[in-house]
């Protein structure tokens, strides 16, 4: 049986690490459930949610070229329609009043990195030129030393 993205399977937890759990699927194929895909809530320790030899329902979320299989326990659980809609809204990101994605640096949003960088460079240039003017006037102007 070929493993395809989107299929839901039953598997057995064969190993637990600090970053997730390995699940043995049908036919001796093993996939990884990343710690972020174990539960909808924050998972600090995988051992609090899973034990070795637990049977879990998983959903295949990706299959790499080199054969690595990414699995999800939280996406395999069927949720009520209201909760699914809320989760989709959270994944889409912030929206403006018209339902369009809000622009970075817009009202109520923090400025983007590029905006911050350009503001910093402008302020820095102003400070450097002001500092040069004040130090030149203390040394006697532009002519350098007088003999």
The Cα-based distances of 1 to 4, 26, 136 in angstroms read: 9, 8, 80
Return the higher-pLDDT residue of 138 and 50.
Answer: 50
* Percentage of the residues of the chain whose pLDDT score is greater than 70: 72
pTM of the model as a whole: 0.54
**Residue 118 host element (H or E):** helix 113-138
CB 71, CB 32: distance < 8 Å: yes
CB 115, CB 106: distance < 8 Å: no
Average pLDDT over all residues of the chain: 81
CA distance linking residue 33 with residue 19, whole number of Å: 9
What is the pLDDT averaged over residues 5-18?
Answer: 92
* DSSP reduced 3-state for 72: strand
CB 47, CB 85: distance < 8 Å: no
CB 36, CB 83: distance < 8 Å: no
Residues in Cβ contact with 5 at an 8 Å cutoff, skipping those fewer than 6 apart: 60, 61, 62, 63
Q: Given pLDDT bands bounded at 50, 70 and 90, which one contains residue 78?
A: confident
The Cα-based distances of 59 to 23, 62, 66, 107 in angstroms read: 11, 9, 19, 39
């Amino acid at each position: 049986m070929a493993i395809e993205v989107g299929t839901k399977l039953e598997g057995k937890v064969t190993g637990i690490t600090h970053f997730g759990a390995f699940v043995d699927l049908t036919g001796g194929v093993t996939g990884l459930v990343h710690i972020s895909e174990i539960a909808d809530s924050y998972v600090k320790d995988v051992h609090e949610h899973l034990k070795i030899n637990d049977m879990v329902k998983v959903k295949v979320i990706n299959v790499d070229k080199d054969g690595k299989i990414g699995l999800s326990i939280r996406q395999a659980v069927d949720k009520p329609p209201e909760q699914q809609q809320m989760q989709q809204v959270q994944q889409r990101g912030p929206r403006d009043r018209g339902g369009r994605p809000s622009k970075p640096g817009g009202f109520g949003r923090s400025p983007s990195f590029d905006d911050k960088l350009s503001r910093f460079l402008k302020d820095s240039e102003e400070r450097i030129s002001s500092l040069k003017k004040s130090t030149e006037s203390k040394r006697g102007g532009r002519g350098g030393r007088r003999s």
